[in-house]
Amino acid sequence: MTRLLLRYRRTLVLPIALLVAFVLMTLQARSGSSLALLTKQILLTSISPFLRLATKSFDITTTVWNEYIDLRRVRRDNQSLKEEIRQLRAEVGELRETALEHTRLSRLLQLDNRVDTEAVVVKVIGKDTTNWFRSILIGGGADRGIRRHMAVVTAEGLVGRVVEVTALASRVQLITDSESGVGVLIQRSRAIGVAAGSQGGAIQIKYLPLMTDVAVGDRIVTSGMGGIFPKGIPVGKVVQSSRPTNGTLFQSIEAQPYVDFSRLEEVMVLKRLPSSSLSWAGEEPPP
């Protein structure tokens, strides 16, 4: 018992002191003796530091607890706000993407209204832009009435032609493929040649005689010859022109395509040749 009291003596000091003070106050109230009053003052003086410490400890504990509760609430609100911001950013991204898609489709639909032929808009679902073969896969095939050798365009200009068709998809050979060939003409001088792809992604204009009037910046469009590509589709612009002196009969012409093939997302397939030349971007077709 003694060991137990010694072990918890510090814990028992305050309760015992309070109990003695209560007893003495009761005795004073009953007897009013000076001894009881003196004893009460001594006890109150002795236990007042403990009372102040207990009060301060309680206040500190209450403050810390309230701050802890507030901190948890702030953290919860912070997490909630972060999640809301994430969702809003995702929605803004989706809306921006939808707006961009709407803009692209609107341009294709405007082109469809100018093209005097049946056409179908399809999405690009795959790309193969290696140096050996340049092509894309489109999400439309026999189910959309697409057949081989149909021309493929965008609002910027010529993309290529359909070379393979399945039930639900088709492969399009790009004009940047070195195996492709498109009849073209220099819009300013009316000189006729053939555009073919090159390893660097540019277009080579072949079979232009040495004395043909060609200048950097000249616009190149399809000539309509060959029975696949309608006349008047923009192909690119001349970026380099030279006349070799090694006895060759033709100029060396390099052109930059108008279409950015790395950013293709939707294209238009022309199901048949139009009855007249095409008008592109509000421009008159070449004579």
CB 74 within 8 A of CB 121: no
Q: What is the pLDDT of residues 92-151, one digit of tens each?
A: 777 676 666 666 666 666 665 555 678 888 899 998 756 556 889 999 999 999 999 999
Q: What is the pLDDT of residues 33-62, one digit of tens each?
A: 565 566 656 656 666 666 676 677 766 777
Higher per-residue confidence, 76 vs 156: 156
CA-based angle 257:261:267, to the nearest 5? 105
pTM for the predicted model, two decimal places: 0.62
Spell 239-270 as b/e; 16+ CB within 10 A means b: eebeeeeeeeeebebbbebbbebeebebbbbb
Least confident of 134-148, 164-178, 221-235: 221-235
pLDDT at 154 over 50: yes
Mean pLDDT of the chain: 76
